[in-house]
A = this chain, B = another copy of it.
């Protein structure tokens, strides 16, 4: 098939750059439009953008003229890396205009008829698109990917929720600096330091996994009934969020059953074949001192999460550590993965 022309909103920012990088050789999608703020609009992308990724800026993208964010001509799908404060309005406008928007922004994540989507976790939530289309009266719609920390947590929780149910989840994060975008944190704030606060992050981490693991009922998602308590920290690591998690299950399980559930987890068939699906969504490590950002970041080319140190918890039932690649699975890679699912399910044509 010929590739689907796609656009990137907020193309000059760091997540925008990662979209462009990850889409450079995508088998299904081809970047044909870029949009950014008024400062950049009208200029060639190569000039408008301060490219900060280690990989080179793809040549055919370099010459594209940056558009204003309201207009993405000739695209059938747009990836949004817009900053939250403008994402809400612009994405709404574009979806109302008939475009499919796969967004990484937080603005619409908790909207009732917007699927908050991770293909391996809740592919069936795309059913919300029907409702959303009815509201808009057209073919356009928004699908959101979750916060980076919430994404990797939800992936690790999915098999436990499925097999045993979940009652309580306690999570403390140690998050990489790339999660704050560019320029992000001044080096003076984080070199050799830990900052025990990330604006808005704990709220997202306490809410989003519940929607992600929620059940579809009468065209709505009912949030999963467990409670989450989150504490979020920034650490001097470039890429890769670590999460120390404790869980109380819905029913009793042995450590062996728990590990078996994690190791046995696989994507449903319609998801397993997507270009962005890793062989194993969850890699379980048996080594004492793993996962580590240094060693496990690239599992599944950044699309797998790695779980380790699975053991009993004296307070809740079990505890473990989850590592995910915050700028691949947790951002641009996740949104592209969602778009692949939409194509596979026939929502994009």
A204-229 contacts to B, CB under 8 A, are: 206, 227-229
CA distance A168 to B313 in the complex (A): 12
In the complex, A196 has a CB within 8 A of chain B? yes
CB distance from A100 to the nearest CB of B (A): 31
CA distance A183 to B191 in the complex (A): 13
Contact with B along A295-322 (1 / 0, CB 8 A): 1011000000000110001111001010
Specify which of B186, B188, B315 is in contact with A229 (CB 8 Å cutoff): B315
CB distance from A163 to the nearest CB of B (A): 21
Q: Is the CB of A191 within 8 A of B170?
A: no
Q: Is the CB of B294 within 8 A of A192?
A: yes
Q: Is the CB of B194 within 8 A of A192?
A: no
CA distance A298 to B229 in the complex (A): 30
Contact with B along A232-262 (1 / 0, CB 8 A): 0101111000101010000000000000000
In the complex, A334 has a CB within 8 A of chain B? no
Contacts of A288 in B (CB 8 A): 197
In the complex, A195 has a CB within 8 A of chain B? yes
The listed residue with most B CB atoms (<10 A of its CB), out of A182, A227, A237, is A237
Contacts of A174 in B (CB 8 A): 174, 194, 233, 235
Q: Is the CB of B293 within 8 A of A194?
A: yes
Q: Is the CB of A177 within 8 A of B188?
A: yes
In the complex with contacts A229-B314, A233-B174, A191-B188 CB distance below 8 A? no
The 6 tightest CB contacts between A and B, nearest first, are A183-B186, A172-B172, A197-B289, A193-B294, A231-B244, A229-B315
Beyond contacts A183-B186, A186-B187, A192-B293: 20 other A-B pairs, Cβ-Cβ < 8 A, are: A54-B297, A170-B315, A182-B188, A183-B189, A184-B187, A187-B191, A187-B236, A189-B294, A191-B191, A192-B237, A194-B235, A194-B292, A196-B242, A196-B321, A227-B315, A229-B313, A229-B316, A231-B246, A231-B309, A231-B321
13 contacts between A and B (CB under 8 A): A54-B295, A174-B233, A177-B187, A184-B186, A184-B187, A192-B236, A192-B238, A194-B242, A197-B309, A228-B314, A229-B315, A229-B319, A236-B236
